[in-house]
């Protein structure tokens, strides 16, 4: 086993590197699945570690500017990984066929098409491959920005006007007083589709989770508000609840659970969640909903437990994600004071 056998192995390795690079490109851009590519996941993880470490040591007034760099830097790092795989792969093939010696000067000549003959042809092929990677990357960038636009649409478009979790009652009352059950179902269907889209795009494009919100009213805050509205309806009037109520709660809970998981967060299961609703009595929420026309199928402790059964699946996740991503908005957590929380349960 000598040098003659090493060259074919080098050529095979180079071809494998080129193929793996293109496979990553195609899977990331054209066939995003339930599991994103290694390049997409690790580029954002590496950049996020550095950016968030720097942000924690940055003055508060400059922190958002530092955090804003996480998504674009991670995306372009992925691009450089793709381009490097093409250059390295074709370079190894060139070494294997004998048109390139592994010396700095020869590498420069190869990349500048100064080799002549088959060397120039192979270098030209490498440049064409890199150009194609760049073209496909711009498609990916457009899709990523479009996914971000859709995520922010309900927030920046004013379709969700509540500000804090306790405003879920206001949102619910507005829809109950100005429309019918069908109109409320239409709103729930729209919000459910919005959260399902966020769930899918955050998996397909890992860097999107680190994309800073377009406004101070973050998508996480909007998510917990609409989910609280659905949970109130499901808790108070389960038979009357519009058809899309359960779909909204399911899509929202799964979206937030998966987002927390992708950030490496382990959210402890709690029996009660008052995240963001500590100063708001549940009896007031019931009273507001009933006065707006929601039929009282369940009240008191039954409604409270039904509401908490749904809320513990998403609100604690919002709190931990907000803290981890260093959003100004956080849902205060008090999972250990269960006894105090239960003392506030309405008896209606």
Residues 93 and 222 in one domain: no
> What local confidence, expressed as pLDDT, does residue 140 receive?
93
Ramachandran region, residue 237 (left: φ > 0; alpha: ψ -120 to 50; beta: rest): beta
Confidence at 148, pLDDT banded by 50, 70, 90? very high
Q: Do 207 and 62 fall into the same domain?
A: no
280: nearest Cα among 168, 160, 173, 162? 168
Q: How far is residue 178's CA from residue 184's CA, in Å, rounded to a whole number?
A: 10
Same domain as 187, residue 75: no
DSSP 36-67: --HHHHHHHHHHHHHHHHHHHTS-HHHHHHHH
Split at pLDDT 50, 70, 90, the class of 162 is low
What is the structure's pLDDT at 336?
43
For the segment 184-197, the average pLDDT, to the nearest whole number, is: 92
Check residues 204 and 167 and name the one with the higher pLDDT: 204
41 and 127 in a single domain? The answer is yes
119 and 162 part of one domain: no
DSSP helix/strand/coil, 240: coil
Of 81, 106, 139, the residue at which a domain comes to its end is 139
pLDDT in tens, 262-291: 898 998 888 887 777 766 778 888 888 888
Q: Is residue 144 part of a domain?
A: no
The answer as to whether 149 is a domain residue is no
Query: Residue 319: how many CB atoms within 10 A of its CB?
Result: 24
* Statement to judge: residues 237 and 108 lie in one domain: no
Average pLDDT over residues 151-161: 70
Distance, in Å, from the CA atom of 125 to the CA atom of 133, rounded to the nearest integer, reads 12
Nearest to 52 by CA among 338, 324, 339, 347: 324
* Mean pLDDT on 67-94: 92
Residue 153 lies in a domain: no
- Residue 316 belongs to some domain of the structure: yes
Q: Which residue has the tokens 């760049």?
A: 134
Q: Quick one: 199 and 97 in the same domain?
A: no
Contact in structure between 15 and 122 (CB atoms under 8 Å)? no
- Looking at residue 196, its pLDDT comes to 93
Q: What is the pTM of this model?
A: 0.82
Higher-scoring residue by pLDDT: 17, 163: 17
pLDDT value, residue 341: 41
For residues 54-82, give the mean pLDDT. 92
150, part of any domain: no
197 and 162 in a common domain? yes
pLDDT at 160 (0 to 100): 56
In a domain, 148, yes or no: no
Quick one: pLDDT at residue 1?
Answer: 46
Residue 137 DSSP SS3: helix
Full domain range(s) for residue 309: 158-342
| Helix axes of 104-111 and 70-97: crossing angle, nearest 10 degrees | 100
Count of structural domains within the chain? 2
Is residue 66 in some structural domain?
A: yes
């Amino acid at each position: 086993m000598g040098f003659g056998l090493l060259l074919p192995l080098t050529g095979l390795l180079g071809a494998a590197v080129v193929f793996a690079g293109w496979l990553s490109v195609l899977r990331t851009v054209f066939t995003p699945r339930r599991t994103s590519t290694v390049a997409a996941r690790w580029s954002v993880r590496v950049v996020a570690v550095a950016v968030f470490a720097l942000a924690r040591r940055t003055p508060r007034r400059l922190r958002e500017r530092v955090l804003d760099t996480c998504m674009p830097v991670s995306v372009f790092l992925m691009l450089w990984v793709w381009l490097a795989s093409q250059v390295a792969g074709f370079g190894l093939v060139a070494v294997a066929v004998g048109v390139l010696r592994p010396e700095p000067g020869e590498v420069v000549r190869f990349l500048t098409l100064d080799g002549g003959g088959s060397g120039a042809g192979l270098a030209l092929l490498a440049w064409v491959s890199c150009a194609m990677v760049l073209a496909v990357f711009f498609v990916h960038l457009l899709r990523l920005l479009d996914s971000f636009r859709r995520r922010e649409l309900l927030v920046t478009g004013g379709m969700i006007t509540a500000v804090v979790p306790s405003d879920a009652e206001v949102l619910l009352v507005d829809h109950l007083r100005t429309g019918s059950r069908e109109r409320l179902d239409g709103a729930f269907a729209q919000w459910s589709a919005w959260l399902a889209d966020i769930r899918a795009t955050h998996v397909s494009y890992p860097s999107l989770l680190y994309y800073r919100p377009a406004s101070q009213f973050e998508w996480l805050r909007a998510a917990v508000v609409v989910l609280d509205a659905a949970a109130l309806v499901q808790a108070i009037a389960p038979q009357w609840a519009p058809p899309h109520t359960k779909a909204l709660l399911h899509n929202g809970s799964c979206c937030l659970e998966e987002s927390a998981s992708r950030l490496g967060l382990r959210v402890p299961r709690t029996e009660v969640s008052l995240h963001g609703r500590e100063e708001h009595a549940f009896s007031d929420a019931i009273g507001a909903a009933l006065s707006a026309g929601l039929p009282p199928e369940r009240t008191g402790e039954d409604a409270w437990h039904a509401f908490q059964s749904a809320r513990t699946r998403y609100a604690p996740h919002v709190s931990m994600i907000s803290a981890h991503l260093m959003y100004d908005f956080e849902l205060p957590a008090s999972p250990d004071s269960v006894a105090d929380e239960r003392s506030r349960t309405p008896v209606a």
